[in-house]
């Protein structure tokens, strides 16, 4: 129970804007951290849903709600995943050897202007998509924050890690095989519950559009496959940084897929 409690603290202190914990990052303190990281996505989901209810009464234009929708998740997650996205993009844009790319991932200083440009473009795309998203769609795509983190957690538990010196992710995988697969099952349940809720909400529209939820889920699945391909091709496995790359990309692709389904005549 002590490990579970410490894992909860480490999850929220390390992957949200909660006060940072003084606990050391090791297996004893992080053995069940991947069980709780999707709960941060659940908090973001609830706040985004509440914002979707509130903003029509306080905003006259679509720009401010779109900026809030694009920025608030990053703020609530303390920019942790965006940092991984930046580092991974920096490494990929270097077009260097695998060893050099892994080194770039671990560097504190970023020198690639292309990474900055990509991050700005992703933000602008997110704002544009949010500005076009119907309010009904927000209630569906908000569950994407849970799904992206659950998929990230599953990948850390069962996918090969890249040969990096810091070995951060190794502390997240418990030595017990049973404990590892219990966490995998819990994260699968997060995804299943989110998917069911997304489809149910989409069916409550004045014109039922379950295709919006289905398109969002397909977008998440495609992004996950792309994340694995990029990780293995360029780094020999996943890292904490490529995981952040996936989370950010997934949370952009899901709204794009949902909006495409809304605009579709089918």
Backbone Cα Rg of the chain: 18
Beta bridge partners of 161: 238
CB 42 within 8 A of CB 143: no
Smallest CA-to-CA distance from 112 within 91, 127, 129 is with: 91
| Residue 24, pLDDT above cutoff 60 | yes
> How much is the pLDDT for 41?
96
Angle in degrees, CA 53, 56, 60, rounded to 5: 160
The rounded distance, in Å, linking the Cα atoms of 84 and 14 is 13
Lowest mean pLDDT among 70-74, 78-82, 107-111, 200-204: 107-111
The rounded distance, in Å, linking the Cα atoms of 78 and 80 is 5
Taking residue 80's Cβ as centre, other Cβ atoms within 10 Å add up to: 19
- Average pLDDT over every residue of 35-40: 96
Q: Which residue has the higher pLDDT, 108 or 69?
A: 69
Question: Which three-class secondary structure state does DSSP give residue 209?
Answer: coil
Q: What is the 3-state secondary structure (H, E, C) of 125-175?
A: HHHHHHHHCCHHHHHHHCCHHHHHHHHHHHHHHHCCECCCCCCHHHHHCCC
Q: What is the DSSP letter of 238?
A: B
The rounded distance, in Å, linking the Cα atoms of 168 and 11 is 13
CB 7 within 8 A of CB 24: no
| Residue given tokens 């995943």 in the structure block | 81
Token digits of residue 255: 């709204």
HSE value, Cβ hemisphere, 13 Å, CA-based, for 263: 9
| Residue 167, pLDDT above cutoff 70 | no
State the distance between the two ends of the chain, measured CA to CA, in whole angstroms.
Answer: 50
pLDDT in tens, 215-239: 999 999 999 999 999 999 999 999 9
Smallest CA-to-CA distance from 225 within 201, 249, 192 is with: 249
State the average pLDDT for the chain.
Answer: 89
> How much is the pLDDT for 23?
82
Smallest CA-to-CA distance from 238 within 251, 225, 228 is with: 228
pLDDT in tens, 234-265: 999 999 999 999 999 999 999 999 999 988 87
pLDDT in tens, 102-150: 888 877 665 566 778 888 899 999 999 999 998 888 999 999 999 999 9
The rounded distance, in Å, linking the Cα atoms of 135 and 181 is 37
Angle between the 80-94 and 98-106 helix axes, to the nearest 10 degrees? 150
| Residue 58, pLDDT above cutoff 80 | yes
CB 85 within 8 A of CB 99: no
What band does 45 get if pLDDT is binned at 50, 70 and 90? very high
């Amino acid at each position: 129970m002590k490990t579970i409690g410490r894992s909860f603290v480490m999850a929220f202190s390390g992957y949200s804007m909660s006060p940072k914990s003084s606990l050391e990052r090791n297996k004893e303190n992080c053995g069940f951290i991947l069980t709780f990281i999707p709960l941060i996505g659940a908090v973001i989901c609830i706040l985004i849903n509440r914002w979707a209810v509130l903003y029509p009464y306080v905003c006259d234009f679509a720009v401010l709600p779109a900026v809030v929708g694009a920025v608030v998740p990053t703020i609530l997650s303390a920019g942790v995943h965006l940092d991984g996205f930046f580092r991974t993009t920096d490494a990929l844009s270097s077009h260097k050897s695998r060893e050099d790319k892994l080194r770039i991932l671990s560097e504190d200083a970023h020198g690639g202007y292309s990474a900055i440009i990509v991050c700005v473009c992703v933000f602008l795309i997110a704002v544009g998509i949010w500005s076009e998203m119907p309010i009904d769609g927000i209630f569906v795509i908000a569950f994407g924050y849970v799904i992206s983190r659950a998929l990230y957690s599953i990948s850390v538990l069962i996918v090969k890690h890249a040969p990096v010196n810091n070995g951060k992710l190794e502390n997240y995988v418990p030595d017990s095989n049973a404990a590892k697969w219990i966490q995998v099952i819990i994260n699968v349940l997060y995804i299943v519950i989110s998917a069911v809720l997304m489809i149910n909400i989409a069916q409550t529209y004045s014109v039922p559009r379950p295709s919006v939820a289905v398109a969002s889920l397909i977008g998440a699945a495609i992004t996950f496959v792309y994340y694995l391909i990029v990780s293995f091709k360029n780094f020999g496995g996943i890292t904490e940084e490529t995981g952040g790359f996936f989370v950010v990309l997934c949370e952009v692709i899901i709204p794009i897929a949902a909006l495409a389904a809304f605009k579709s005549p089918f």
